[in-house]
Amino acid sequence: MTRFFVEQDICRDDTLSLTGENAQHAKVLRLKAGETVLLCDGQGMEAVCFVTQISSDEITLSVKERRDSSSEASVQVSVYVAFPKADKLEHVIQKATELGAYEIVAFPSARCISRPDEKSLKKKLERWQKIASSAAEQSGRGRIPQVLTLGSYQEALERAGKADKALLFYENEQATTLKMALSAESFSTVSLMTGPEGGLEQAEVERAEAAGLQVCTLGKRILRCETAPLCALSAVMYHSGEF
């Protein structure tokens, strides 16, 4: 069933429509009256619809069934990454979206060598959000993860700390594994925080602990800053029974 992300409220009316890029895409696919398509609102809700009418710039649809998206993870995982170089952040946004992240949050830390200035941030956020949308569509997700940026490390700690499980990965931690951190009790929200290219400073790790985050290791091998969050996310999804 072909899927379309739409911005309209799919729960209000029983007649919906595809316009703009979606209508063009439907034409490329040679969609015909009577066919069934899936409309996703990007918030985890989807509507199974019949095509009722096709005009030059609009496809009219009739809603058959509404449901929660079946492809969203049962656990909400927020991926917190210290600003890496631009191409690496884009990589993390794309892959974390495929892997089912709930949101991707970039924050500054002491050793970040790259940090967008205020002026360019709005444009960059639009670009990053587009990467998430397109990855969500390709991977068949029902929800487009939001991409956020925070102004300070402290803000990141406070926000991340609100999850049922808030974890910080640090290459000098040896005792506590991710498995230990996850096994204690059940959880439905998780924050996974990782450092920048040059790593987090010891003092930053201590501040994270003070803020209630649990410090753990991703094993004996040093992972690059763009590999660590995706490795941790894959493991949490596996642990939570996603695959």
Smallest distance from its own copies to CB 144, Å: 13
Q: Which is nearer to its own copies, 111 or 115 (CB)?
A: 111
Smallest distance from its own copies to CB 95, Å: 6
Q: What is the dihedral sign for C-alpha 12, 13, 16, 19?
A: negative
Smallest distance from its own copies to CB 189, Å: 19
Smallest distance from its own copies to CB 86, Å: 17
Q: Which is nearer to its own copies, 61 or 135 (CB)?
A: 135
Cα–Cα separations (whole angstroms), residue 227 to 33, 91, 92, 112, 223 = 45, 9, 8, 16, 6
Give dist(CA 7, CA 174) in Å, integer: 46
Which among 120, 155, 41 has a CA at the least distance from the CA of 49? 41
Strand, helix or coil at 185? coil
Smallest distance from its own copies to CB 34, Å: 25
How many CA atoms, within 13 angstroms, populate the side-chain half-sphere of residue 243?
10
Q: Which is nearer to its own copies, 140 or 198 (CB)?
A: 140
Q: Using CB under 8 A as the criterion, which residues of the chain lie in contact with its own copies when the complex forms? A: 70-73, 95, 98-100, 138-141, 177-179, 216-224, 227, 230-232, 234-235, 237-239, 241-243
Q: Which is nearer to its own copies, 43 or 62 (CB)?
A: 43
Local structure of residue 130 (DSSP, 8 states): H
For residue 184, give both structure tokens. 């204690």
Q: Which is nearer to its own copies, 10 or 230 (CB)?
A: 230
